[in-house]
Amino acid sequence: MNAVAQDLVLFEELDCAGGQLIGVAQLNAPKTLNGLSLDMTRLLSHQLQEWSQNPKVVVIVLRGAGDKAFCAGGDLHALHHSMMQNQSGDPVQNKYAGTFFAEEYALDYLIHTYPKPILVWGDGIVMGGGMGLMMGASHRVVTETTRMAMPEISIGLFPDVGGTWLLNRLPGNAGLFLGLTGAQLGGNDALFAGMADYHLRRDMYTNLLESLTQQPWDETLSGVGLRNIHDQLHVLLAELSSEPDTTIQPLQNHLPLIRRLCSGEDLNRIVSNILSLADHPDPWLQRAAKTLAQGSPGSARVTFELLKHNKLLSLAQVYRVEWVAGLMAAAHGDFAEGIRALLIDKDKQPKWNPSTIAEADEKWVQKFFTLPFAEDQHPLYRLGDTV
């Protein structure tokens, strides 16, 4: 990996008073809002595995460079290029997309199952691939600037990176609503929905690092000692935490309405219900309806069916299903067109195909669930194995 790639993630080890280390990883692509590239994924994965084996490292801190975003998503430009290079209709031919999704999901799974505490500083924009990095961390912090969302419907994708696992665990049909509308949440609603654990002011980051280095951490990185370190970090964050703005909580305010509008098995009716919010007095609901109306009907169908299909699956199984759907989206869906309209030509006039929910029916969506080769050839086939 070249020097430029190495600079995409900056790593630092901070000395603690008791001789231990705090590992700090900073996504370092502020001009692209720290969008997660394949090189960044590989750097993070390698370093996390090294830190997991280092007996001196007790806590990992993951943050983004700049003051706008922790991570606003994946490297969509590179994915678009790979789709333009492979227009054969054969999803297996897009080696880059298959590799990107597999390694990104494997990194996310590593974070979910990491033995040591991982603290994600979710300041600013946390969307798409950023959600994948944050949702599995043991200690998830939001600030007054946090804007959290899974906005894939606007680019012809679906809430991946384990998004269908997360959204299925939100209260009152909120997960389906957020997946269909890409609605953004602030820190207050993120805490309410269980998508974050603590709220700290963004100017507390330096204080946080100082407090981490001054802690008398347990030296036993297994069993009770490891549990003590996790608990110690929880106590420290609770002491540093503050109350988020209680006037900004649209998800909490509208959860009974969302539960009613998004109930049942009829996607056409659910979509119609959400679109009826276009004239609602709350701008948050208006934006949600507008985003769905302008988004990919195919993405709406894939999201709806994935949430149903994945509801009782393990996390590793969810990543395997999402990988197949992602690969198919790169070959047969609206993904390339969505990126073109939003980021390449920037005309914001995507030509979705299918153009309606009715056309994106249960038969159309089946290809997103069909593995194009033998199961043991799946790149995430062994994900979750304990052997």
Residue 74's pLDDT is 92
Give the HSE-up count for residue 372: Cα atoms under 13 Å, Cβ half-sphere: 18
177: CB partners within 8 A, 6+ apart: 183, 258, 261, 262, 274, 288
* CA-closest candidate to residue 48, choices 130, 107, 131: 107
304 φ, ψ (degrees, to nearest 5): -60, -45
Q: Which domain holds residue 150?
A: 3-377
* CA-closest candidate to residue 45, choices 16, 8, 81: 8
155 φ, ψ (degrees, to nearest 5): -120, 10
Of 35, 64, 73, 74, catalytic: 74
Domain assignment present for 131 = yes
Contact 195, 140 (CB under 8 A): yes
Residue 2's pLDDT is 47
Domain assignment present for 370 = yes
Domain assignment present for 385 = no
Q: In what order do the strands lie in the sheet with 125-127?
A: 69-71, 125-127, 147-149
Q: How far apart are CA 367 and CA 325, in angstroms?
A: 8
Name the 3-class secondary structure at 296. Answer: coil
Does 129 qualify as catalytic in the annotation?
yes
Contact 373, 92 (CB under 8 A): yes
Q: How far apart are CA 335 and CA 70, in angstroms?
A: 23
Number of Cβ atoms within 10 Å of the Cβ of 49: 11
Domain assignment present for 384 = no
Residue 5's pLDDT is 63
Residue 76, domain CATH? 3.90.226.10
For residue 354, whether the previous peptide bond is cis, meaning omega lies within 30 degrees of 0, is yes
Q: How far apart are CA 233 and CA 145, in angstroms?
A: 22
For residue 297, whether the previous peptide bond is cis, meaning omega lies within 30 degrees of 0, is no
Residue 116's pLDDT is 96
Contact 109, 384 (CB under 8 A): yes
328: CB partners within 8 A, 6+ apart: 91, 367, 368, 370
- How are beta strands 21-27 and 125-127 bridged, if at all? unpaired
Name the 3-class secondary structure at 225. Answer: helix
The per-residue pLDDT string of the chain (387 residues; one tens digit each, 9 = 90 and over) reads 444 566 999 999 999 999 999 999 999 999 999 999 999 999 999 999 999 999 999 999 999 999 999 999 999 999 999 999 988 888 999 999 999 999 999 999 999 999 999 999 999 999 999 999 999 999 999 999 999 999 999 999 999 999 999 999 999 999 999 999 999 999 999 999 999 999 999 999 999 999 999 998 987 777 888 999 999 999 999 999 999 998 899 999 999 999 999 999 999 999 999 999 999 999 999 999 999 999 999 999 999 999 999 999 999 999 999 999 999 999 988 999 999 999 999 999 999 999 999 999 999 999 999 999 999 999 999 998 854
Domain assignment present for 31 = yes
Of 129, 179, 182, 333, catalytic: 129
Instruction: Give this prediction's pTM.
Output: 0.96
Apex 360 CA angle, 76 and 126, nearest 5: 30
Residue 277's pLDDT is 98
Domain assignment present for 242 = yes
What is the widest separation between alpha-carbon atoms in the chain? 63
Domain assignment present for 174 = yes
Contact 199, 192 (CB under 8 A): no
Domain assignment present for 103 = yes
Amino acid at 127: M
Does 362 qualify as catalytic in the annotation?
no
Does 160 qualify as catalytic in the annotation?
yes
Contact 173, 259 (CB under 8 A): yes
Of 123, 152, 197, 218, catalytic: 152
Contact 333, 326 (CB under 8 A): no
For residue 73, is it left (φ>0), alpha (ψ between -120 and 50) or beta?
left
Number of domains in the chain: 1
Amino acid at 223: G
Does 385 qualify as catalytic in the annotation?
no
